[in-house]
Structure 1
Amino acid sequence: MREYQTNKLHLKFDYETIERDFDIYQIKQKAEGKKYISQEVLDNVSEEQYITAVQWIYGNTALVLLEKDKISTYAFKKKMRERFPDITVCQIKGLFDEKVREKYFGEGDIQLARLLFNSLRPYKSEIFHRNNIMGKLFYQSPKWKSKDTVYFVQIHLDYSFHLILKVVTFTKDTGDSGGYVFDKSTGNFRRALKTDKGTKYVKKNKNTKSTVPFLNIENMEKFEASKMGVLKQFVEDVRTYLRDYIEINFETMEEMMSHDKKWEKYSIKVKENKSKIYEKEAAKRLSSHKIAIVDECNTETSKKITDDFQAFLKKVYGVGSKLGDSVSSGTYNLRIIHDKGYYKGENDLHDEIFNKCIVQHITVENYKKCDLEKNPEFYAIIQELFIKEDIVNKQLTTFNWSETLGKSGKTWAFVSFKKDDTDKNTKKKDQYTYYRVFITPDGKLSFDSCAGRSWMRRKDEWKNIIRYHQELIDKRKSEKRYDENIEGFFYTDINDICTIYKTNACVYPRFDGIGGELFLLKADKELDKEQMIDALLHFKEDSPELVKKNKEEFEQVLNNLKNRKEEYVDKKAFYKDIGRGKLREGFNEYLRAEYRILLNFSKSKENLPLYDLDAMTDIHYSISGDSSGKLVKYFVGSAKALNGSVARSNPIRKIIGKTLKAEEILPMLTATFVRNEQYTVIPFPYKYIREYFQIS
């Protein structure tokens, strides 16, 4: 495997230059009964003109960065004490001393890096707005602002130096308690002061995020409005404005692993026309059941959904359906309801339970009309109906278990968990409810659950599972490992429980190279006719065999150009005129290399590796360890060829156990249901656990 680029940073500091240009202070607030430094302190310090950056560290402690000699140490301390009597100020000197740095900046100078990143001042351009809010660095495309909301991509460096791009959303406050405003004089987004009037914003909770695609390579504008476009801008900003103080480089996959561990690619070899095969199997299954549409809304949209879904079933699968007054057993039921916000917690149809009925909901508020044969929502409905039927019948059919993992003769158990609300009486935290599915060799399913609070009284497998989980939680706290989270457990032997972790590490494509290519694509909308004629003739000399195989197409393109009266030709139209296949790809690559002209960003198998875009597809894994324990690391891309956009990053996960086998784990990631044709990021039985306990 080539050296894919990860999101982990390697940092190099110039301590001499930092001390030459800046004064750094640690401030602490020692207020009785307060564990954390107050927001008022951070806000007021941030608003001072002589302050370059503020970084909250932990608890009651923060760092402050000032330009050298902007204010004397005596004057700064005095000013802080006058405004906040419970604040202590300590100047940090001697950055060459490793003990000093570790004391104030933590391991690897993590807090110094964050402080320097936060020194990037707010600015506005046509492409990006940069804001520093609460000691956090935010980038925003002007397109990410609507009538009532505004959202940003936050640059976050975790304690293991993974650079994480988070979407943070703010919405207009209907009252007057909003904590953020757009400054009327600068246009910058900042904390609201008591004197601010007008529109204010509040931060939305973590369950109501806006969406920014991880990557979009359709054109420069869409790339810039993706997370990788933001990352490109951030890296350029650091290398431009902070180059004298800090150098950043991204760790590669090879650096992450020791030399004796190799990454491999795993993908399923499938028959051609796979979608048609799925449709044929699905049609057979659908035709053996009644299909009912239960409209609980009776609106124009719900009627449209009914008509569209019936037409979809007929066109794609050749099956009919009927309207139903209520959910019935022995039937595939599509139930049209409102989203949860409509019910406001009263008579919420989402919460109704139908024992032994196969029911899938669709909400009128979230329905998007698409071409019938390409509507992903309808295909997903079919998938969900089949999964729910498996759960009702307690028999796995969407995956050929008996011919794969069932061959071992072992029963597999998969365990997930959900954190309970903090007990208001005992105030106990880290309490969980656990959920489990057993799968026998012939694919039979059984489910059970356990309340974590009662595990000490148990005398069955639950005691082993929950005690093991508690040990991992305690270990995580003692080691301060906040860069990975446990997602679940599975086992065939209770004495060998395997653990799935999701880490903060992921693979980043070569965003700088992608940006350079898209800049070339954007550069010229029209091309000089004579230059293109000259380029075609030189291309013929350079690639005689390719031109010879496509002689007729080549001559037609050349003659069309010669016969044009205009001096310039439209780039997009010219690209289409070249035809298809290797001739067009070859000439496009030749123009890029020899003339610095790009007709199209190529998504061919040959071009994708140049920018690590091939890491966005298929499953990549490595396995290591010995008889004492095994470790499988993997990340999951798309099962399909890459098109113009990638919705999410592909976090690296790891599975730890004594007797792990990659050939057993990987097939459970490739259970493509119906026509969904996407891999699952964790073994598919966890999907069954979620569905079972949601409907029961």
Structure 2
Amino acid sequence: MIKTNKVKLEIHYDHIIRDYDLYKIQPIQTGDKDEEKCVMKRSLEKLDQLSPVLAVLYRYKGPVYLIFEKGRVCLEDLQSHINQYDKGAFVETLDINDPLSITPTELSQLLINMLPNMEFSQKFNNISGRYFSFNQKSFKKDCILAYHISLIESETSKQECMVYMEGESYHRLSKVLEHNERYRNDILKLPRYYKSSEGYVLRRCLTPLNTDQCFVRRSVYRRQREDFVNSLDIHDIQGFENSKCGMLHQFYIDVDLHLNDYVQLHPIDLDNEQMANTYSDFLSQDYIRNLYNDLGVHLIDRVNDSSSKKMIDLIVSKLKDRGIDNIHYDKGKQFNIALIHNQKYCKNNKIPDQHVSDLNFQHITYETCIARDNAIDISDNVMDRILMELLIKRDIANRSISIYHWDWDKPVEYVTRESERRDNKRITKYFLLSVFPDGSMDYYKIEDDTSELYQRYESVFTNYKSSVYEPELLISIPNHQVLISNSKMMVLPDLKELDFRLNAYRKDKEISKSKLTRLLNSFVETNEEYREEIERILKSLNKNTYQYQEVVRKASKAGNPPLINLATSLGRKFVKHCRDTSRVVFNPCLKSDVVKVFQHIYTLKDEEDSKKLYYYVGKKEPMKFTLVNACHIRRITVLEGALDDDFKKFIFDQLSVNFIRNNDYTVVPFLRKYIEEFK
């Protein structure tokens, strides 16, 4: 069974009706959508003066749902309050038993918005009606990192949904204006928020505050994502609590603690169909090494200082470690590696960008080669990626695949979509890559939205897009067509098991000598191969009590060694034995049975629709104690023909090509990388 963020809702309607009054506010239909939107905005902005309101849920261009304690506000009083500020909206009592009035997902979200970390007890403070979660790293000097938790309705059942968390950044308004002066007027129109002195609360400013006192929401660009906690580091208890998985687990606890009488979230585990048997047709390392030695690698230093010379020397050393000896220090016809400064450095020092758009060049930045301790270092992953990128660019230039044994006897067509907003208009383009049986490629860009081909792709990508699924790649061969879509459904570790281990473990916790002796003796009964080591440990016990960290931990050069080294097979097996048989957690950090490291490609069944297959992609290499990101589950939808074993193997083989990250699987067939390079 695969644990995911998909849940089934159990709603106790009679309990909600018993304890709460629910109302719906809608604009009077005038035909002017913009005016109706303004009416709702004006109505919402005055709700803070209605102190009994507990929570609100506002759907964009839809109604507003309100919840009050039973008997605190009647329909007439609420309508009268709204009419004081705008007579373009009307209030009605909400019939929660009518799915046309409010869906189970919306009702659950409204109740969730009452959770205590939004501090609704005094007055209503978030007119956007969104639930936020915060952690110890959320509040910085000029930035608030908030985690928005929402329920996303499932396509298959109104009683099922995804629990989804995404990060949002709120920056101090004065700082935003300082760096975006040209957009000053637009920025000043943004909703303003302030940090409450009561704790982890983000409130909407309904009275004027100066620009240094409030925050505005900005999009989370890639360079800001490092501020957000995405990783699950189970070596660090605080790291787990701050991670998305930790906060998601706390969210489930909060719902159970505060809303158990009204709504319950039951996680839905998915059945594993099988592990996909993939055998990568990626070319051997010997072939790649010989290719580089035949054609040569050219190193170009565009920084040209004492440190850059050391970086070039380090690159040479790493190339030779890989058996590549044909190295030059000038520009060649292909396979050029240029050392440059990054864009930030060039901008700050007002020098031209040193990056060159050339298929014969791959760049490595000077700043990438500086480690945290300011030492010069280049990771093996970076070096391997550079070499692979050069091979891909060579394929693009030659319009032929050379890094993969292409073995499909029919033309294959790959289509991706790119959409951007330009001048208040959304511009959509389609990119098509055709691969022929001999491995040769043709590339097309389709921008004419009146063309038949554009309309055909637009229909597929639009019709299969939803709040849960985002189409990524359309694959077509004669008589077969499938669509791969990313989803907001994710594979999660066993949060309950993690929580148990983290709460049960404290490194300074003590165990008596007698109990430790019993554990060691019981362990050796089923692990005879360790008897000699265990007997040696038993003889060395000379204290009445031992701290957990004295019993099992990773040995280090500093301090006294533990009785058992966690880095050994004895250490790992002993910790597992104690946890499973006696619920004693000497150390919570076992990768394989805590996180269940996903080292393969797994497929999941869709019991209701044989035309759909789900899969998720893990890592080839063990990830030790850190799960960097939850694995998103992708859906393959069969649009034409059938997903027979040969075609399925053809697709999954293209996931095991290891050039995106060293020794990792790709999440979609690797030809998407070629499309990105063609653009």
Does the pair score TM above 0.5?
Answer: yes
Task: Please say which of residues 142-151 and 302-311 is displaced more in the overlay.
Answer: 302-311
Partner of 2:385: 380
User: 1:390 Cα shift?
Assistant: 1.8
- Aligned partners of 2:305 and 2:36: how far apart in 1? 53
1:104 aligns with 2:104: no
Cα RMSD (Å): 3.5
Matched, 1:571 2:549: yes
Any conservation in 2 of the 1:382–1:674 contact (CA below 8 Å)? no
1:194-252 deviation line (CA, Å, top 9, x unaligned) = 33343322222243452322533223222112111011100000000001111110122
Counterpart amino acid of residue 274 in structure 2? E
Please state if 1:332 is matched with 2:336: yes
User: Matches of 2:250 and 2:661 in 1, distance apart?
Assistant: 38
Which residue does 2:206 correspond to in 1? 193
Q: Give yes or no for the alignment of 1:226 onto 2:243.
A: yes
**CA distance, structure 2, for counterparts of residue 591 and residue 624 of structure 1:** 38
Q: Distance in 2 between matches of 1:516 and 1:591?
A: 14
Alignment correspondent of 2:402: 397
Residue in 1 aligned with 2:557?
A: none
Query: Are the aligned partners of 1:489 and 1:499 in contact in 2 as well (CA < 8 Å)?
Result: yes
- Could you say what secondary structure the match of 1:213 adopts? coil
Unaligned runs of at least 5 residues, structure 2: 120-124, 155-160, 178-186, 554-561
CA contact (8 A) 1:23 1:65 kept: yes
1:510 alignment partner in structure 2? 494
The aligned runs of 1:253-652 (5 Å cut-off) are 253-254=270-271, 263-268=273-278, 282-297=288-303, 305-317=311-323, 319=325, 321=327, 323-324=329-330, 328-339=332-343, 343=347, 349=353, 352-354=356-358, 357-364=359-366, 369=371, 374-401=379-406, 406=407, 408-421=408-421, 429=426, 432-456=428-452, 463=453, 466-473=454-461, 475-476=463-464, 481-493=466-478, 496-522=480-506, 524-540=508-524, 543=525, 545-546=526-527, 548-561=528-541, 564-565=542-543, 567-569=545-547, 571=549, 574-575=552-553, 576-579=562-565, 582-601=569-588, 603=590, 605=592, 607-608=593-594, 613-614=596-597, 616-622=598-604, 630-652=611-633
Q: What is the Cα deviation at residue 317 of structure 1?
A: 4.4
Specify every segment of 5 or more residues in structure 1 that has no aligned partner in the other structure, as ranges: 125-130, 255-261, 457-462
* Letter paired with 2:52: Y
| Alpha-carbon separation, structure 1, partners of 2:345 and 2:11 | 50
Question: What is aligned with 1:682?
Answer: 668
Q: Once structures 1 and 2 are overlaid, which stretch shifts more, 365-374 or 73-82? A: 365-374
CA separation of 1:399 and 1:600: change in aligned 2, threshold 3 A: farther
In the alignment, the residues of structure 2 paired with residue 521 and residue 234 of structure 1 have an alpha-carbon distance, to the nearest angstrom, of 22
1:301 Cα shift?
A: 7.2
Aligned partner of residue 116 in structure 2, secondary structure: coil
CA separation of 1:414/1:186 partners in 2, compared to 1, >3 Å: closer, same or farther?
closer
Aligned position for 1:665: 651
Post-superposition Cα deviations, 1:246-270, rounded to whole Å, max 9, x if no partner, equal 111012214xxxxxxx611125579
Shift of 1:329: 2.4
1-side partners of 2:493 and 2:361: how far apart?
Answer: 40
SS in 2 for 1:539: helix
Distance 1:604 1:186 in 2: 35
**Pair 1:573–1:350, CA change in 2 (3 A):** farther
Match of 2:35 in 1: 34
- AA of the residue aligned to 2:245: M
Secondary structure in structure 2 of the residue aligned to 1:571: helix
Give the structure 1 partner of residue 53 of structure 2.
Answer: 51
Q: Which residue of 1 is the match for residue 137 of structure 2?
A: 143
For residues 572 and 329 of structure 1, do their structure 2 counterparts lie closer, same or farther at Cα, with a shift above 3 Å needed? farther
- CA shift for structure 1 position 409: 2.1
The alignment-based identity, stated in percent, is 22
Distance 1:236 1:361, change over 3 A: same
For the 8 Å contact 2:56–2:127, the answer to whether it is kept is: no
Measured against aligned partners, the alpha-carbon deviations of 1:31-76 in whole angstroms (never above 9, x if no partner) come to 8533535545434425743211011024152111111233343333
Aligned-pair distance for 1:654?
Answer: 2.2
* Greater alpha carbon shift after TM alignment, 591-600 vs 53-62: 591-600
CA distance in 1, matches of 2:315, 2:128: 48
- Residue 279 of structure 1 contacts residue 317 of structure 1 at CA under 8 Å; is this kept in 2? no
What one-letter code is carried by the residue in structure 2 that aligns with 1:640?
Answer: E
TM-score when normalising by structure 2: 0.83
Q: CA deviation at 1:683?
A: 0.5
Q: Give the Cα–Cα distance (whole angstroms) in 1 for the partners of residues 246 and 37 of structure 2.
A: 35
The residue that corresponds to 2:85 in the other structure is: 83
> Retained in 2: the 8 A contact 1:413–1:490?
yes
What is the CA–CA distance in structure 1 between the aligned matches of 2:218 and 2:447, rounded to whole Å? 31
Deviation (angstroms), 1:318: 5.3
Task: Flag the 1:195–1:387 CA change in 2: closer, same or farther, 3 A.
Answer: same
**One-letter amino acid of the structure 1 residue matched with residue 153 of structure 2:** Y
CA distance in 1: counterparts of 2:378 and 2:311, whole angstroms = 14
What's the TM-score, normalizing by structure 1?
A: 0.81
| CA distance, structure 2, for counterparts of residue 678 and residue 318 of structure 1 | 23
Q: Is the 8 A contact 1:333 1:360 kept in 2?
A: yes
Aligned residue for 2:149, secondary structure, equals strand
Which letter maps to 1:190?
Answer: R
Secondary structure of the 1:252 match is coil
Alpha-carbon spacing, 1:531–1:69, altered in 2? closer, same or farther (3 Å): same
Figure out how many residues of one structure are paired with residues of the other and give that number.
Answer: 629
Q: Please tell me whether the aligned partners of residues 630 and 658 of structure 1 are also in contact (alpha carbons under 8 angstroms).
A: no
Q: In structure 2, give the amino acid aligned to 1:9.
A: V
Q: Which residue of 1 aligns with 2:556?
A: none
Cα offset, 1:526, TM superposition: 4.1
1:672 is matched by which residue type in structure 2?
Answer: N
**Structure 2 letter corresponding to 1:621:** T
Q: Distance in 2 between matches of 1:305 and 1:240?
A: 56
